[in-house]
Structure 1
Amino acid sequence: MSNIYSSPTGPRLAGLHDKFFVGPPPSSSQPNDEDTDMPTYFSGSEKTEVATYVQEFISSRGNEYFCEIDEDYLTDRFNLTGLNTEVQHYQYALDLVTDVFDMEVDDDMRESIEKSARHLYGLVHARYVVTTRGLAKMMEKYKQGVFGKCPRVICESQHLLPMGQHDQPGMSNVKLYCAKCEDLYNPKSSRHNSIDGAYFGSSFHNILFQVYPGLMPQKTQRRYEPRIYGFRVHASAALMRWQEERREEMKDRLRSRGLETGFEDEDEDDDDLESEEDEARAQEDGIDDMFEGPGIQMQTTCQHIGGYLNDRDLCTYRLVCQSTHNAIDADGCSFWRRRFLTTFEKPTWTTSNNVKYRQTYHKRRRALIYGANFWVAITKSTGKDYAKEIRRGTRCLEVLRDMTIDSFSEKKESDLAYESKNLRLIYKFIQNYDLLDVVMATDHKKEKDLLCLPKQLLCTIWSLLAPAMLSLDFEHAPTLGFPDSQQVVYGTTADHPIFGGCNGLDINMEWVVHHLNFWKYHMVRSEENTLYHAFKHLSPNETPQFWNRQLELGGSKLGRYWKGSYAYVERGEVTMIRAGEGHEDTIQDLFNGEMDIGSFQDMQLTWLDEAAGLATWPKLFEKHLHSLRRPENKARTRAQHRSSSTIPDAISNLKPQNFQFLAEGHDTTEDFLAQGWLNALPAQHGVPGWQRMTMMKYFEDADTGVIETDALWAYEGVVLPGGQIILGRWWCPSDGTGEWMYSGPFILWCVDRSEDAGGC
């Protein structure tokens, strides 16, 4: 005769008259793989103890709440009265529970019988637990804390009891009852939470405490009293007073009938209660005195308290009462001015209107706290509310720009250890949100629309965050669109100009970001075996740094010591990259340090006076670099004038500010010299501090000291605000022009090597 076995979560079925018996379950709660699928057989002569259905049911995981029903109780037909109408396959299920089932059935029938057997056991269990034997067994489980402990803090881990809210099965799942707070809780385990509440009944827990009154815990009058910074919440306090009055009324009614209240003896603690009430009255009197005192003193106290609160708590504190609201908002908003200057650095505006301080504070804190999902805002992923993220992202970009402009506004020249509050908050923002994870991400939406982040402002903020983008702290940030960036950095001046606009002074911000993305790919990505290892071994002072002074309009001299690198490919590969072939097959970049184990270029600058600089600036260098050419107004109107000259007019109201420098450095295995200029640029998208850098790198004849004109390398780039990083394009003046020019990207950053390191 074939044996019938249960599913992994149910008991096993087997005929008692079989030749072999099913062995007891493993002691571990997690059976071995082979034990799960196949039973263990023992011959009848080995005297192995047979596990009954009830024993296996009780030992199964998730059935800890049940107690073991006596066999005599299960076999007494009186105890099973009426269950034949509640349980499907009642007779088969009863035979299985009482271990007399002996019949061959198919798998579907077997599963149905096992389900009915579990249901039958649960219904019998509800009747058994209110008997003397059942109550005794459940009492032991209760004492051991098998059913869990009350999560309410004031109940102090009071043991719980299982109960049902209904006696009819299928109405609700089992709940846990706390006799101390007289409340119900859901079981923590999902296995226990799926048990039908009718398997325990709605009366069992009350009967248990009637039979064993010593188990009833003493109730306590302690309860949580809501307060906001020491002040009781008025609405809740009124409700609590009403509850206390009703409780006292009910206790008097119980005493009048000679019944115990169930609470601790109040007479023993009369002295303590009186002292607590006196103390509460004293506190209330003190609070009343404070709020009923002179208006200025009360307002100052409320503002002083508000100064110690974070933003979320401050919003709640404003709503405590009219006095706190007036202290925060009604005093000409002076509180917000002080709070703004405590959190941020002094703004660049000169207005004395405190309302602007409040509005700006709210805007900045909302942007810094809630941020934006920049991936959704840029890519416009389907299924996402990208319009909301675009609005939030735009607000964040504006806040980051304004905080950048105001950073270091309170720094004094003698303060060498100054730490910018704004810059610290900006750095924390880019750590918390994905702004640097979406550099060069593209719009996925097929139908293009006008709703998008302000592209130029976005690229400007990315450029300002270049030190973070080129930091190993953000090594996890992905590098997107590298083939596009490679094509841009090797592009010609005609296809990808650095400067544009009607006067040639507007920086191509997208070009700057492509350069940053290119160098990030090679310097920060560990997967690339190019500059990563050399960059990783630089000391902290030798890596790109954020600006360390307030950004201002106009030019300024830079630091003295610099590091950097330039990238190049073979002449034929430049044409391939410009044609877009790098998108299909990766074209490997080479660097200045390829022959020197990937080391970086070192360069030292020396600044000249303007008069001396003009005398030493070769005309050949000016011919290629146009370092001293005045900006020209290329804009044209439709107005008819007498003069028909087509020569662009110079911008007369722009005062050029130029600084010349000499440079010397080491490149791979040889030394080089260079001369160059810095030209001040106007603010870009509201951010000041940008400059144009032009430089001619050359070599001198060792004997005569004459410049070797056939080995010139021209450099033109952008100095990012703060004067710490320069990005740009190099080209060979003697090797083609226009679309045939031989060019590539370069990067330089200021490093501290001595205490007199200029602007660094």
Structure 2
Amino acid sequence: MTIALARFPVELLKLITTSLSDNDLCNFALTCSIFHDAVHGDKVVWRDRFLSVYDDPVNKISYDWKATYQKRQRLHKKMVGLSFRSGQSKEELEALEILWDILADARGNIPAEGDPVDGRNFSHILPLRSERAIFSSHSHVDEHPLLSAVSLLLTPLLNRPKLAFIKGSQEIVYKPDVNRVINADGTPNLSILNAMARLFTWHIHPDSPSDLFHQRTLLTPGEMPCFWQGRLGDEGEIPTKWFGAYMYSNPTRIIIYDGDELSSDRSDGYLVDMTLTISQSAFTGIGKDFDTFTIKSGEITPIPSPPGRLSTVNGWKKVEFIKSYTHHGWFYSGIILPGNNMMLGYWMRSKGGLLSRGASGPFIFWRAPESSSLLNRDNRVSFVRVTG
């Protein structure tokens, strides 16, 4: 049989490999030099195998289809045994780099409003839901940029962080002398952004014991924070419909929860429903949380990507606007993440003002389906203003 197959045109041999498993493909290549050349003589077989499972990569120049495919296939096996306690071991770094590359290449497609995100790379990302706590509850995540970035972009998986690590997130988010989401070099401050994402995830997660944002119980699965459409880092259009939440930077007391001391976060209890009108890099808008408001003087400005491996993803943007009620207004400054699906930052009394306790705080907004609205839902549910 081998001799007969060896007489087949190489194009037919390549076609035969498409029906083989990974192990069978390797064994097929070991059978004889003709089969070896058919598999490894050029990039066709491994490229086609790669593209049958993953989205096409952003940078295809000198791309090693075989090595990348095999590394990605081993990712889940590595994830099971890794604790990511330091984010520095060879195995951890390799797994993080592979996962970052999968995220960077991920091409999202949402067939209809509210439907789960669809895409070849997302089919490999979404099963990490059970492992998401590895990133969101990690004690050293803020000390390692790649770990922070991966955790931040996986926020839509919405695995609730462990309570013990929320304390660390609070310390980062509420620390008055570092409460800025943009570094001195103009790049995003991944440590603060990730701490914000974890802190809000704790409070809006469907299984969270927190009642800080009571309206989270009114959200449908399709209205929770979601992944991006298109490819991460593509310019794309800024969404016009956003839901969100904000807190005050003045936890006023210590509570005991599950035997652990925790500062109590504070909010007005209502989620934000906001619709924007965007013209190039400027925008206005309207919305409501505890009261109606307008959005004024909105500006969106591209900023540099983090250095090193993280520079493979562009699309980070600075966002600033004034949220104005009838008798008062607040200045919002933050970052729109690559993919245009989420923005995180701080609100304060005025532009350039200090993040004083009680007069400022963190915020999160996420893209919502265009047809969704919180305005006509039952918002009479009782809520607690000060809670853990």
TM-score (norm 1): 0.43
Would you say how many aligned residue pairs link Structure 1 and Structure 2? Answer: 360
Paired position in structure 2 for 1:510: 191
- Contact 2:244 2:364 (8 Å CA) reproduced: yes
Note closer, same or farther for the CA distance 1:737–1:438 as it changes in structure 2 (3 Å cut).
closer
Note closer, same or farther for the CA distance 1:587–1:738 as it changes in structure 2 (3 Å cut).
closer
- Whole-angstrom CA distance in 1 between matches of 2:105 and 2:183: 27
Q: Secondary structure at the match of 2:246?
A: strand
1:235-314 correspondence runs (5 A): 287=1, 290-291=4-5, 293-294=7-8, 297=9, 299-314=10-25
Matching residue's letter, 1:463? L
Paired position in structure 2 for 1:671: 292
- Contact 1:558 1:723 (8 Å CA) reproduced: yes
- Contact 2:231 2:339 (8 Å CA) reproduced: yes
Equivalent of residue 540 in structure 1, options 213, 217, 221: 221
- Whole-angstrom CA distance in 1 between matches of 2:18 and 2:223: 40
Residue 667 of structure 1, CA deviation: 1.9
Matching residue's letter, 2:207? S
Equivalent of residue 457 in structure 1, options 146, 156, 159: 146
- Whole-angstrom CA distance in 2 between matches of 1:458 and 1:403: 14
Moved over 4 A (4+): 738-741
Note closer, same or farther for the CA distance 1:732–1:409 as it changes in structure 2 (3 Å cut).
closer
Residue 591 of structure 1, CA deviation: 2.2
Q: Secondary structure at the match of 1:401?
A: helix
- Contact 2:108 2:229 (8 Å CA) reproduced: no
- Contact 2:348 2:354 (8 Å CA) reproduced: no
Note closer, same or farther for the CA distance 1:480–1:678 as it changes in structure 2 (3 Å cut).
farther
Residue 315 of structure 2 is aligned to residue 689 of structure 1: yes
Equivalent of residue 399 in structure 1, options 76, 85, 98: 98
Note closer, same or farther for the CA distance 1:304–1:368 as it changes in structure 2 (3 Å cut).
farther
1:83-122 correspondence runs (5 A): none
- Contact 2:336 2:342 (8 Å CA) reproduced: yes
- Contact 1:489 1:729 (8 Å CA) reproduced: no
- Contact 1:345 1:409 (8 Å CA) reproduced: no
Residue 43 of structure 2 is aligned to residue 333 of structure 1: yes
Equivalent of residue 530 in structure 1, options 200, 211, 214: 211
Note closer, same or farther for the CA distance 1:288–1:365 as it changes in structure 2 (3 Å cut).
closer
Structure 2 alignment gaps of length 5 or more: 373-388
Structure 1 alignment gaps of length 5 or more: 1-286, 381-386, 444-451, 578-582, 594-598, 610-658, 701-707, 756-760
Deviations 1:684-743 (A, max 9, x none): 32221111111111124xxxxxxx4xx221111111111111111112239973666732
Query: Per residue, is there more strand in 1 or in 2?
Result: 2
Deviations 1:195-248 (A, max 9, x none): xxxxxxxxxxxxxxxxxxxxxxxxxxxxxxxxxxxxxxxxxxxxxxxxxxxxxx
Q: Secondary structure at the match of 2:263?
A: coil
- Whole-angstrom CA distance in 2 between matches of 1:734 and 1:315: 61
Residue 536 of structure 1, CA deviation: 4.1
Paired position in structure 2 for 1:724: 341
- Contact 2:203 2:211 (8 Å CA) reproduced: yes
Note closer, same or farther for the CA distance 1:536–1:393 as it changes in structure 2 (3 Å cut).
farther
Matching residue's letter, 1:482? I
- Whole-angstrom CA distance in 1 between matches of 2:213 and 2:292: 24
Residue 249 of structure 2 is aligned to residue 558 of structure 1: no
Paired position in structure 2 for 1:498: 181
Residue 525 of structure 1, CA deviation: 6.5
Residue 85 of structure 2 is aligned to residue 378 of structure 1: yes
- Contact 1:569 1:588 (8 Å CA) reproduced: no
- Contact 1:735 1:742 (8 Å CA) reproduced: no
- Whole-angstrom CA distance in 2 between matches of 1:500 and 1:741: 24
Matching residue's letter, 1:317? F
- Whole-angstrom CA distance in 2 between matches of 1:527 and 1:348: 37
Matching residue's letter, 1:360? T
- Contact 1:713 1:732 (8 Å CA) reproduced: yes
Matching residue's letter, 1:509? L
- Contact 1:526 1:532 (8 Å CA) reproduced: no
Q: Secondary structure at the match of 2:178?
A: coil
- Contact 1:437 1:478 (8 Å CA) reproduced: no
Paired position in structure 2 for 1:268: none
Residue 166 of structure 2 is aligned to residue 482 of structure 1: yes
Deviations 1:478-534 (A, max 9, x none): 344212212322332x333211133xx111101011101111221227352315763
Note closer, same or farther for the CA distance 1:464–1:487 as it changes in structure 2 (3 Å cut).
same
Equivalent of residue 248 in structure 2, options 560, 565, 568: 568
- Contact 1:562 1:603 (8 Å CA) reproduced: yes
Matching residue's letter, 1:507? P
